[in-house]
Structure 1
Amino acid sequence: MLAAARWTLLISLGGMAISLALGIFVCASRISKEPIISGLAALYISFFRGVPLLVQLLVFYYMLPYIGLDLPAIAAAVLAVGMCSAAYTAEILRGALQTIPHGQTEAAHALGIPTFSLWKRILVPQAIRIGLPSLVNELILLVKVSSLASVVGIGELTRISQNITGETYRPLEIYVAAAAIYFLINLVVSLLGRLAEHKLKVV
């Protein structure tokens, strides 16, 4: 079960990495002044927030081979989890950006700072700092929803717990142990998040 927990962590952390990178791009597109770009970003957010993650996992797993992407199940799961989470991350960052004084952007433009540098050096770092509590909560959620990856045959914690239960006929002990492992993982994530918040002085 501890070995299986590594797959749980891989899905969660890999999904969060994709979520953050893609979420920044979707967030920037969502607040774009170009109606088409903003509309496409809004559609992306609405779709991935409106369709259950279980359905998304199945679609990614069975659809990718049809378009010539024969990815391993774990890669398809990480991609699906990351793209789904990116919709939530984009909204978290958009909310954080709205709290940043607009004068910073105006000052950057007045100083001739390029848009990419503005986002990289000024806006994104502040948005991540402000939205850090919500981003930590999103990572905790990903740890829990990683159990859905069992439907595509990945031997993560929930799937292995089911297999052991089928062999030993001792569901209470096995599932309590699985719950304890999930709890410990999320406790560590929560503590690290609080440490980061304290270090960055998030209010």
Structure 2
Amino acid sequence: MMQPQVIVHALAYLTLAAGMTIYVSIAGIILGMGIGFTVCLARLSGGPILARIGAFYVSFFRGVPLLVQLLFIYYFLAEFGIDVPAMAAAIGGLGLASGAYQAEILRGALNAVPLGQSEAATALGFSRASIWRRILLPQALRISVPPLINEFTLLLKASSLVSVVGIAELTRVSMNIASSTYRPLEAYAGAGLFYLAINLCLAGLGNLAERRLATGAAR
């Protein structure tokens, strides 16, 4: 029979662990945004070398499991004298992996914007920067919000893997609680509730962003 008091007693530890999960996830998302946008531009640049480098990056980081990437950054680089702190390895691994997915989401969104709009803007004398700022990016952002929110949700859940490099996030802490209390059901149920609450908040923010972008487009 489940003993809820175990969850209550562990609430403070799980709350701190949830904060760590949110921190590494947000940092990984932000890093992934920068990488994803850069890789997306490389793939759409029209230059064969940049496009191939971008394609290789996407193929590599989508093809290699995140767990292997984290272990490579934290342990393998140390063999060559590159000592990567656990937090840097966790955020770097999440960001590098997320960047590959975000790059493809953004590329698909930009390709979904009708080419005729850019051609018409060019004919009207718009600069390339103005076309990107006023035509391409606003529409691509509206298109990409749902898949990006889905990617952020998946990244948040995948952040449980950073426990392999010693980060005390939700999964790691719940495992410690389970081993010390001999009550794995309550420990993992508590962690699951925190994951659910965080993802529901993320989904709510995504819905809010969609509505705001839709309102702005209607004006």
Q: Same fold (TM over 0.5)?
A: yes
Mapping of residues 1-203 of structure 1, within 5 Å: 1-65=14-78, 69-110=82-123, 111=125, 113-114=127-128, 116=129, 118-201=131-214
Residue ranges of structure 1 left out of the alignment (5+ in a row):
none
Q: CA deviation at 1:184?
A: 0.4
Verify the 8 A CA contact 2:35 2:96 in the aligned structure 1. Answer: yes
SS at match of 1:98: helix
Seen in structure 2, the aligned counterparts of structure 1 residues 66 and 103 have a Cα distance that, compared at 3 Å, is farther
Deviation at 1:71, TM superposition (A): 3.6
CA contact (8 A) 2:73 2:84 kept: no
Give the letter for the 1:165 counterpart: A
- Cα distance in 1 between the residues matched to 2:64 and 2:193: 29
Conservation of the 8 A alpha-carbon contact between 2:153 and 2:202: yes
Write the deviation string for residues 113-152 of structure 1: whole angstroms up to 9, x where unpaired: 14x5543454233212211000001110011000000001
- The structural deviation recorded for 1:69 is 5.0
The 1:100–1:53 alpha-carbon spacing in structure 2 relative to 1, beyond 3 Å, is: same
Q: Select between 100-109 and 184-193 the one with higher mean Cα deviation.
A: 100-109
TM-score, scaled relative to structure 2: 0.85
Unaligned residue ranges in structure 2 (runs of 5+): 1-13
Residue 112 of structure 1: how far off its partner (Å): 5.2
Distance 1:160 1:118, change over 3 A: same
Instruction: Specify the code of the residue in structure 2 equivalent to 1:43.
Output: F
What do you get for the CA RMSD once the two structures are aligned?
A: 2.0
SS of the residue aligned with 2:168?
A: coil
Structure showing greater Rg: 2
Tell me the TM-score normalized by structure 1: 0.91
C-alpha displacement of 1:159: 0.3
Amino acid corresponding to residue 51 of structure 1 in structure 2:
V
User: Once the two structures are aligned, what percentage of the paired residues are identical?
Assistant: 52
Give the direction of change, closer, same or farther, for the CA distance of 1:72–1:112 in structure 2 (3 Å limit): same
Write the distance in 2 (CA, Å) between the matches of 1:74 and 1:121: 38
Aligned partners of 1:18 and 1:108: how far apart in 2? Answer: 32
